[in-house]
Amino acid sequence: MATSTSEAAAEAGHAAEKAGMPQLDFATFPNQIFWLLVTLVVIYFILSRFALPRIASVLAERQGTITGDLAMAEELKQKALEAEEAYNRALAEARAEAQKIVAENKARMQTELDAAIAKADAEIAAKLAESEAAIAEIRKGAVKAVKQVATETAKEVVKVLGFKPDPKLITKAVTERLKGRAQ
Amino acid sequence: MAAEEQSEGLQFHPMEQFTLEPLFGDGPIHWYTPTNATLWMGIAILVIVLLLVIGTRRRAIVPNRTQSIGELAYGFIYTMVEDVAGKEGVKYFPYIMTLFMFIVTANFLGLIPLSFSTTSHIAVTVVMALLVFVTVTLIGFFKHGIGFLKLFWVSSAPLALRPVLAVIELISYFVRPVSHSIRLAGNVMAGHAVIEVFATFGAILAIAPLSLIGIVAMFGMDVLVAFVQAYVFTILTCVYLKDALHPAH
């Protein structure tokens, strides 16, 4: 009984020792300090040799890429603007050219048309004169024919009536009659 | 024996998780003995190598997730050093990055169940805080010589008050490593200890669900604390560095 009690007490004491703060167990301090310093030196070595320069270069590279891309975008935008301007200028030029050509053509066609009209007018006038001459001739021919027919007819009529036709008299009469009609 | 256990009730051992044990065998812990602390510091190195070296090996212009995290960590600390300590502080960026990466990795590794939190030990945090303190003080004296003492001479205060303020400033300067280290170790240790206490309450069936909720909530808190404490330690380092580079008030 006594031994068990003392054992229990020893256990309790041990437990109390364990329940105390291990942080204040100075026996472990050299160990922790040693390993901490090793750890810090290793981390510092890794960071300053490998990690930090690499991350810095990646960040700088990214910054450079972004700046470069922005500059390129700006340049391309400028180029697009220039291209648009050139296109507009070309369009305006083409339009002006087209208008010039249209005007030229119009003028040329006008002169050609004028010439053609004048030529046609002249031809028409010539044809008209010709026609008038022809009509006059036809009319003249017609009068002559009428005179002849009338003379013949008159001759026959006179012959039928039993007289001897006097051609001179008949011609004179027909001419006189026709003169009056023809007016 | 059974009755004895009954009478003892719940056994709380919230600090047991912080005990250092040799990795091999059961001998005493010499300064060179590989312990569980050694193991988890090594794992922290591995994680940092995976994240910052293996993760960035493709040097991609468009990064994948691992490279993104590495670049975020880099950018986060770099801007912090530049903003707080100024352009001159950038020279010390690799040291500060080393501290931050170690603390943040060790903190998160400590959140893995059954792991060992190296940053919960005052021995670890005090060494880091003292490294910062000594380095920063040396930088101050090397850069400004005796002019570094202007840090303690508040020129904007009335002349009569200045000696008093100088004493206060001097004390606060020497308290820096203490608060710097205890803040980190204390936060990490407290979080883990509270989780352990909640877990012990889980042995009582009636309040087991409550203890489970408590564990989940505390774990969420600890995830936050793991990052925030690493951030705080780093930014304080930057602030101390700034004081060394520009001691005049």
Is A36–B75 a contact, with Cβ atoms under 8 angstroms apart?
Answer: no
Q: Which of B4, B29, B101 sits opposite A31 (nearest CB)?
A: B29
Q: Which two tokens stand for residue B93?
A: 């960026």
CB neighbour list of residue B43: distance below 8 Å, 6 or more residues apart: B109
The residue among B23, B24, B56 with the most chain A CBs within 10 A of its CB, best to mutate, is: B56
What's the average model confidence in pLDDT over A137-161? 85
Long-range contacts of A172-177 (CB under 8 A, 24+ apart): A174/A147, A174/A150, A175/A147, A177/A150
Proportion of chain B above pLDDT 90, given as a percent:
63
Q: How much is the mean pLDDT over chain B?
A: 89
What are the extents of the domains in chain B? 34-245
Query: A66 — contact with chain B (CB < 8 Å)?
Result: no
Predicted ipTM? Answer: 0.89
| DSSP notation for A143-167 | HHHHHHHHHHHHHHHHHHTT----H
Euclidean distance between CA atoms B130 and B142, whole angstroms:
18
Proportion of chain A above pLDDT 70, given as a percent:
87
Identity of the amino acid at A18:
K
The answer to whether residue B28 scores a pLDDT higher than 90 is: no
Residues of A in contact with B128 (CB under 8 A): 36, 40
Residues of A in contact with B52 (CB under 8 A): 46-47, 50-52, 55
CB neighbour list of residue B190: distance below 8 Å, 6 or more residues apart: none
Is A51–B13 a contact, with Cβ atoms under 8 angstroms apart?
Answer: no
Q: Which two tokens stand for residue B64?
A: 């994948």
The answer to whether residue A178 scores a pLDDT higher than 80 is: no
| SS3 call for B97 | helix
A8-17, B152-161, B185-194: lowest mean pLDDT where? Answer: A8-17
A5-14, B122-131, B219-228: lowest mean pLDDT where? Answer: A5-14
| SS3 call for B26 | coil
A46-50, A77-81, A137-141, A151-155: lowest mean pLDDT where? Answer: A151-155
What's the average model confidence in pLDDT over B207-223? 93
Could you report the per-residue pLDDT of A24-59, keeping only the tens digit for each? 888 889 999 999 999 999 999 999 999 999 999 999
Instruction: Give the closest-approach CA distance of A49 to chain B in angstroms.
Output: 10
pLDDT at position A13, please? Answer: 42
Could you report the per-residue pLDDT of B29-69, keeping only the tens digit for each? 888 889 999 999 999 999 999 999 998 888 888 888 999 99
Q: Which of B12, B41, B56 sits opposite A58 (nearest CB)?
A: B56
CB neighbour list of residue A65: distance below 8 Å, 6 or more residues apart: B61
Q: How many residues does chain A have?
A: 183
Residues of A in contact with B49 (CB under 8 A): 46
Cβ-Cβ contacts under 8 Å between A and B: the total is 142
Nearest CA-CA partner of B97 in B225, B224, B238? B238
Could you report the per-residue pLDDT of A87-134, keeping only the tens digit for each? 999 999 999 999 999 999 999 999 999 999 999 999 999 999 999 999
The residue among B4, B6, B8, B15 with the most chain A CBs within 10 A of its CB, best to mutate, is: B15
Instruction: Give the closest-approach CA distance of B102 to chain A in angstroms.
Output: 7
H or E stretch including A2? Answer: helix A2-19
Is B118–A18 a contact, with Cβ atoms under 8 angstroms apart?
Answer: no
**In DSSP terms, which residues pair with B22 in a beta bridge?**
B35
What's the average model confidence in pLDDT over B201-229? 92
Tokens 């026996």, located at residue: A27
What number of other Cβ atoms are within 10 A of residue B193's Cβ? Answer: 20
Q: Which two tokens stand for residue B34?
A: 């590989």
| SS3 call for A117 | helix
Query: A37 — contact with chain B (CB < 8 Å)?
Result: yes
